[in-house]
Structure 1
Amino acid sequence: MKFRPLMFSVFLYLSLTSVVAEGATLCVNTQGTDRCYNSISEAVAAAGVNDVIHIGAGTYRESVTITKPVSLVGQHAVIDASGLSRGIFVNGMAAPGLAQVHISGLTVLNANFEGILVANASAVTISDSIIANNNHSLSGATCPGIEAFEPGEQNDCGEGIHLLGADHAIVTHNQVHGNSGGILLSDDTGPTHDNLVSLNTVTDNPFACGIVLASHVPAAVSGSAQSLGVFHNTIWKNFSSGNGVKVDGGAGIGIFASVPGAASYGNVIIENVLTRSGHPGIALHAHAPNQKLNDNMLVGNGIADNGADTADAATPGSTGINVFSVVPATGNIISENTIQQETNDVAVNNSSLVQVEFNNLVGHGAGVKNLGTGPVDATLNFWGCEAGPAARGSGCSTVDDPNILFAPWLSSIAPLDPKF
């Protein structure tokens, strides 16, 4: 899958939206000439509500904090945040109600923590940008110097792009590579919901997942003792490859509830391509009592050549999708995916209302691996053979547990288009 530019012009979009709420146009260049500022931070400080800041070509060595509705539009502009906390921090904690910040056309490099952090803000867009080689503070499992409002990010320094307590954000058409992890949605400071992550190329982020939706211990600033939830987010048509391949690693896409009370539910993972992950292509984990890992939909994804899950969620070999929960996880739908080159196409350890239906399970290993004791509904799948699941070694995907319900099955491959 190739990285594709937006089909519409950012400049056209900005000109159309200016009819609704006019703002001034400011400019930045590295020399500060032609009535332009010579740093992005200076321009942001001078900008009014809904102003548009055009950033000229060159490298800007700074960390930019945004607390007002503005648009940053780069033209071959690089933010080098070497030795600094973040490249861009959209800080709604310092500006309650912050919304409608737009970031496009920038390359953000070398920050100690996130390349771009969006915290407690709404309707933020991040598009057509390159986010690379951030999370430099990571030292083993810790992230020295990261603030107390990010208690859940010690293992990855917040990844390349982080939506933290954010809602209705759009993260689209970005290239995210060489960070600890790729794109993170978490609820440390507030609920994270109704966001769209689409059409991004997320590759070679070695220590964590390509894209992860994780419910964490709430930070003290949230005012809550209970996790606030990661829900109703859509992850659509992203390409994730080569992520999480180092020690402790990660999945192509992860949906996680990490502590008692955590809640990751009602999310949609649709039409992504997920390959060469250190852990499964998609992993759903709930590790403790009183967690909510319900009603997630995994639909139309192309999954191949990933790794095994580990620790308490371990799978016996490489796995396309792993659903692990120590409590009932109900209403999760796995449908219309094409899974190949895996030892286990789908692994399930807690089968409470998990539907595995209308998939192409063509990995030629275990089409569905039941790691629990209850029944798994795996009807109406294609198992690589017209005659349905067969004995191991036949070239067809297999079923080796009487609690897996596989009949009826599809006699030919489902007409899906995973775009490997």
Structure 2
Amino acid sequence: MHVRSLLILASALLCKAAVAATLCVSASGGGCYHHISDAVAAAAPGDTIVVVEGTFHEQVTITKSLSLTALSGVIDASGMVNGIIVDGLHNAGLANVHISNLTIKNAKHEGILVLNASYVSVSGNTVKNNNTSLAGGMCPDLPTYEPGEAQDCGEGIHLQAADHSIVTNNTVTENAGGILISDDSGPTHDNLISFNNVHDNPGACGITMASHVPAPSTGAALPFGVYHNTIYGNRSLRNGAGIGGGAGYGIFASIPGAKTYSNVVVNNLAKDNGLPGIAMHAHAPNQQLNDNMLIGNTLVGNGADTADAATAGPTGINVFSAVPTSNASGIMISGNQIQQEQIDVNVNNPQAVTVEFNNLLGKGTGVSNTGASTVDATGNWWGCIFGPTLAPGACSTVKGAVISLPWSITPVDIQPNF
């Protein structure tokens, strides 16, 4: 019996080893695969692929559960659609893919596209100079499965119809836009975007959550929705300064029936972006922008909003939903520090918005309300003890229907963590 038990144990260990192999990739060979795609094709589900060194001119398509990491590796996707695509659209149920420590550059569209997949992690990568097909603010050769990316080619990292996934500790720069979360081919929900350094992406926002027109192949009449996502501890700097422009963080609904709701943007930095630090837009009837929470963010020196969501000057946060049939209720703005802005918080919304316990330090308009509802702006620090009404010019002020009393007579204790 003892020998039989040992044989059973040995068999189990061998089986476990068989499904957890490590494959290597090196441009110089040395017993490793010469191309990442070859290693991906050879890998079994659950395997790990380690890129030892080299620059690889290829598009890597992942269709199975695996880990792809690098000691030193560059994917130069010049002339190719993507650098890496995690393709669950054509491989139903794809999950547990992990991508880390690579540099991905020069793709025509996204550097990394996660498509209809679950439990994916994208960490420690540098994603730069992608979206190279973009010309004159338009992307001419989009796949039909992502119809909403005509103005930015999908940005640097794109989660589309992804859930329970993490994008963390990446540097995303010199793309059209930084990180995009959208619902073109399915609902996108319960994802975490954290501790990324997103900077100098001129054509769109640093980080965007947007509900788009559904892809024709889905047969859906209405967008699927972007919801229950968390944007935490990121740095969004100098994005959206070019054609099209962009905010530090964008929460958007596009066509009638689009829905981007119940998301949290917490403890992030937005500085020197082309549009407001955080922009929330509902442009059409029957959209859902409700129950989004903007908590503990630091917003410095961002730009004015434009077009139908235009603000009167540089703005920290803009909440725009001028269509009465859209639902933008339950929006909470609290614990934020806003400075070097002409308007700290601008609201044009048919439903009530809560703006409480923030440090409104722009010394211009602390809260401007041009909408139909009243803004509850109690408990804020307006930059001086006199509040927004007793000493004009000393504190930030209010415009429109804004309840500001009682206000705080000391700054709100905010502890940034980005």
**Structure 1 CA distance, aligned partners of 2:104 and 2:391?**
49
- The reply to whether residue 27 of structure 1 matches residue 20 of structure 2 is no
- What are the within-5 Å matches in structure 2 for residues 217-232 of structure 1? 217-232=213-228
2:198 counterpart letter in structure 1: V
- The reply to whether residue 262 of structure 1 matches residue 261 of structure 2 is no
Residue 419 of structure 1 and its aligned partner are, at CA, apart by 6.2
1:242 counterpart letter in structure 2: R
Residue 22 of structure 1 and its aligned partner are, at CA, apart by 4.6
**Structure 1 CA distance, aligned partners of 2:394 and 2:350?**
26
Residue 20 of structure 1 and its aligned partner are, at CA, apart by 11
Match of 2:412 in 1: 414
**Structure 2 CA distance, aligned partners of 1:168 and 1:275?**
28
- The reply to whether residue 198 of structure 1 matches residue 169 of structure 2 is no
**Structure 1 CA distance, aligned partners of 2:364 and 2:17?**
56
**Structure 2 CA distance, aligned partners of 1:81 and 1:123?**
25
- Structure 1 unaligned blocks of 5 or more: 1-17
4+ residue runs over 6 A deviation: 18-21
- What are the within-5 Å matches in structure 2 for residues 6-85 of structure 1? 22-34=19-31, 36-85=32-81
Q: 1:60 to 1:268 in 2, by over 3 A?
A: same
- What are the within-5 Å matches in structure 2 for residues 221-370 of structure 1? 221-325=217-321, 326=323, 327-370=326-369
1:375 counterpart letter in structure 2: T
Match of 2:115 in 1: 119
2:30 counterpart letter in structure 1: T
**Structure 2 CA distance, aligned partners of 1:391 and 1:151?**
52
Q: Secondary structure at the match of 2:399?
A: coil
Residue 393 of structure 1 and its aligned partner are, at CA, apart by 5.9
Deviations 1:359-406, CA, capped at 9 Å, x for gaps: 0011101000112232111111110011111478623101133x1100
Q: 1:346 to 1:374 in 2, by over 3 A?
A: same
Deviations 1:199-255, CA, capped at 9 Å, x for gaps: 000000000000000000000122311100000000000000000011220100000
Match of 1:12 in 2: none
Deviations 1:327-385, CA, capped at 9 Å, x for gaps: 34100100000000000000000151310000001110100011223211111111001
Q: What's the TM-score once normalised by structure 2's chain length? A: 0.94
> Does the 8 Å CA contact 2:258/2:286 hold for their aligned counterparts?
yes
1:342 counterpart letter in structure 2: E
**Structure 1 CA distance, aligned partners of 2:141 and 2:238?**
28
- The reply to whether residue 140 of structure 1 matches residue 136 of structure 2 is yes
**Structure 2 CA distance, aligned partners of 1:20 and 1:373?**
64
- Percent of aligned pairs sharing the same letter: 57
Residue 144 of structure 1 and its aligned partner are, at CA, apart by 1.7
Q: Secondary structure at the match of 2:38?
A: helix
Residue 410 of structure 1 and its aligned partner are, at CA, apart by 0.5
- Structure 2 unaligned blocks of 5 or more: 1-14
1:405 counterpart letter in structure 2: I
Q: Secondary structure at the match of 1:399?
A: strand
Residue 141 of structure 1 and its aligned partner are, at CA, apart by 2.8
2:404 counterpart letter in structure 1: F
- What are the within-5 Å matches in structure 2 for residues 89-128 of structure 1? 89-128=85-124
Q: Secondary structure at the match of 2:308?
A: helix
Deviations 1:21-77, CA, capped at 9 Å, x for gaps: 95111010002222x110000000000000000101110110000000011011110
1:243 counterpart letter in structure 2: N
> Does the 8 Å CA contact 2:137/2:243 hold for their aligned counterparts?
no
Residue 139 of structure 1 and its aligned partner are, at CA, apart by 1.2
Q: Secondary structure at the match of 1:41?
A: helix
> Does the 8 Å CA contact 1:281/1:319 hold for their aligned counterparts?
yes
Q: Secondary structure at the match of 2:145?
A: coil
Q: Secondary structure at the match of 1:76?
A: coil
Deviations 1:97-141, CA, capped at 9 Å, x for gaps: 000000001000000000000000000000011000000000123
- The reply to whether residue 86 of structure 1 matches residue 85 of structure 2 is no
Cα RMSD of the aligned pairs, angstroms, is: 1.5
Aligned residues: 401
